[in-house]
Structure 1
Amino acid sequence: MRTSEALRRRARLVSGLIVGLVALSGPAWAAPPPVAEPGGCTVKPGFPASAEIPWAQERLGFERVHALATGAGITVAVVDSGLNVNNQPQVSSLESTKPTNVMGGGGYGATDVNDCEDYGHGTRVAAIIAAQQEDGVGFEGLAPDATIMPIKYRDSSSQDVGGDAAAVARGIEAAIAAKVDVINLSLQSPDTPELRAAVEHAKAADIVVVAASGNNDGQGVPALYPAKYAEGKDFPNVLVVGASDANDAIAQFSITGDYVGVAAPGVGILAPTQIQGYYAEDGTSFATPFVSATVALVRERHPRLSAEQVVNRIKATADRPGVSVPDAGYGWGIVNPYVAITAERDDSRILPQQAKLPAVPAPNLPEPPDHTLRDRGYAVAAGLLGAALLFGVGSIAWRHTAERRGATADGTQPRG
């Protein structure tokens, strides 16, 4: 069992490295060229489904988590580019409710949220949260029984996750009106009075807001909102997510700051396209839904916790990276869904401002012990035993042959 786990861990590391190398070798694998779908949508086809479990799911321990919680009874609002449920079985079968389009101003009565453009950002985010399990497919959502409320605030024509702050604010207000439990914001926006007020209203409604820390393009991109609202004590319901890789290192593109709450896998993250197949991409946008799904699991398992207590629990139970926490990149560590739902702790306790705590690595079994000397001893013993058996069998055979020739073993003639 230990050997198997060690090999699995090495395979997971190699898998993550391969994903990264392939993604860097050219854009064709990471983002296939768009094709026109009958009905007017322009979508990216992906690569065929595989039974191999993606590295991020192995890292977060989906199998043991799902034995205890699946997000049942919890609603997650995904304020993004919408949701395409027309073609992808794992997405079309997930539970969704109250689709809302807040583009173009006005109220939020429109229900057309089809993620019809070529990138499919919202579809991928929703799938990471709640995609259904499918036979022969390794990929699945972390909270497969959670209900998704898709809120379309922008088109999905590019990877640019910036957008109209007023539309984002309307999306948050729509989620509040629908009485969701958690809001996923894999986006960046300017700070505006409308956006700040919407996040304030979410706090008053006891809703956890999970926001991406943002991606740095190497040009010194400043920290953007709503992530920066987690700076200070005004918004304890906001949990900001950075991106980590298969080696548990913070991704170079992940924007850092003292408002980062936790990190989650965000490099080479596999998810469905809008039409068929899968491809892997990088970004804090795809780390964030792992944490939103963890919030759903915690709120299912611990329904009496407030939004602030849920945030504190997830921070307190994260895998610490071996540095003082909170850290500008890791926050309080890499999210651990299993410990988040099972830990026995006083959730009213406030986390310290800074703590030098011992590292808590990923929950893997130790390497198998070195039995080289023991095995050599066994080999020598086995060799001696084999030689003894061979000598004994040889002696018996020689005696039997000698008797058949009319002589005893000592050379005398037998009595007649």
Structure 2
Amino acid sequence: MARIRVLTALKIKHLKPGMHADGLGLYLKVRAGNTKSWIFRYRTGGRLRDMGLGPYHTVSLAEAREKAEACRAMRYKSLDPLNERHKEQQAKKIEAAEAITFEKCAESYIAAHKDGWKNGKHADQWTTTLQTYVYPIFKDRPVAAIDDDLVLKVLQPIWKEKTETASRIRGRIERILDWARGKKYRTGDNPARWKGHLDLFLAKRSRVATVAHHAALPIDEMPGFIQILQQEETVVARAFEFCILNATRTSETLGMRWDEYDEKSQLWTVPGARMKAGRDHRIPLAIRSQLILAEMQEIRTSDFVFPGGVNERPLSSMAFLMLLRRLERHDITAHGFRSTFRDWAAERTDFPSEVVEMALAHTIGNKVEAAYRRGDLFDKRRHLAETWAAFCAGTTANYG
């Protein structure tokens, strides 16, 4: 008859390294260095298995016997104690994952990716759109519980009226849920995916979206507007005029540094890191643009050509908008002046469209055309820049 309850506290104190049976599958394993741990040994499917029950300094002899008894009860029911423990651990992991909210996942996703986004404003844009449209619907919901109905509840009310915004929100939800699945916080298909899923419930963007153009100044009003700007003796006005003359985006002008300007070559090179297309953009500067830079050089206070009120910082991204408001021009936008430039070039000049598009730093959509057009048409664009500057000044020029 097998001996049971063999071990005592006194015996355990003097045990040498090895496996020491207490009976009915319970063992105390003593290792070199006198470390001790409890083991429940059993056989299943012809295989001998050892299940750890905890270290001796934490689990007493009485507690070890209780744990061994629970294991024997499982064996009586033809269950494998190790497998049951694994199932319990997995269930706890799932329970913990289900407690992680969508908001928490969104915050973690943004934190993990914001350093890689080219535009520093993207993190704020993500947070703002989520707070406005998504969080009111499922901010505190477990990320594992986000389903088709919840996603559609966010998108359907704004899909027609705010199609572009809704489309971006859908993409952001999809990325966050993909990230959560990668972290094992949820399983199954992504309810925010478009192809073969949401495209069955929502109309195509091209069918419902209305193109939102930036409000542009009419061509014939340009000389008068430039004259008003020139009467403004502020850094913002000089920056705005410079931006218009070079048909650049607001961020490209406001972020301009002195080391980007080659005075000898009358050239401004915008680094690819600050360009939408991700490539360096060479801009030939008209005489008026050079005069503006000479004026800014006289009051230079930092590495930025158009410094803001804070040391070593450029003008605020809102500077042009605030200037337009002060001039009571609520009907136009800073970005709209690029449209005015393009309309002027198309309607009032004979400059080829590829020269104008290159001046605007637009990406060439046709891959074949892009492969053959390797230059940047620089000399032709210098002529275009001077012609545009002359028009803005209200003087005549030899167009085209």
Instruction: Give TM class, smaller chain.
Output: under 0.3
- Output the TM-score relative to the length of structure 1: 0.19
Please give the TM-score of this superposition, normalised by the length of structure 2: 0.19
